[in-house]
Structure 1
């Protein structure tokens, strides 16, 4: 049986159109900020909590862009299903919790290794 991990993620773009990605401590791949829902949380509550914990920012608005599934970047043999949202945030971004590094990437020419879900599913769905 293959483990399926359900997550929510934030698509946050800067003024130059670059996408905010994060790399968790002890991993190689950059991915969207976000994470797993806790019991009783809906997508937006989970996204707001994760953004606060990981980046120290407040979620202002979020628009769903679909659901995508691919092999998990950090859990061998598992798959991840993400529900990403185009998000607007408030506050200064700061690395916190399990995040080791943030990187704003040019989605047309990423210069870091991306998680399979982001590289093969989400970015193509956004037309980049």
Structure 2
């Protein structure tokens, strides 16, 4: 899409790939703008969030022994995945679980960054 096309987009645009590389989530080119959004744009953005949540849970599971409440953090990430699997994910539920995880992973900057990126996306999309 041309730069002109992006400027005229009145919905939520989420493009690029979601990836975790050395525990860093990348929600490439995710942007939010006001106005009506298309169902396709919204569904694509939710799909990216689902993938980011899945990768976050994998990272938490792999490093759960490093955290005081590691098993609970993995469980919370599972609740996030479950909520994102719903037809209409609830923003407050997602933010509550992300808010539980965030302080628990403060010692690991990369995973803390992952959580912050997902929180920002949830706030933008839902």
Higher normalized contact order (CA 8 Å, seq sep 6+, divided by chain length)? 1
| The structure with more strand, counted as a fraction of residues | 1
TM-score bracket, normalised by the shorter chain, equals under 0.3
TM-score computed with the length of structure 2 as normaliser = 0.26
Which structure: larger Rg?
Answer: 2
TM-score computed with the length of structure 1 as normaliser = 0.26
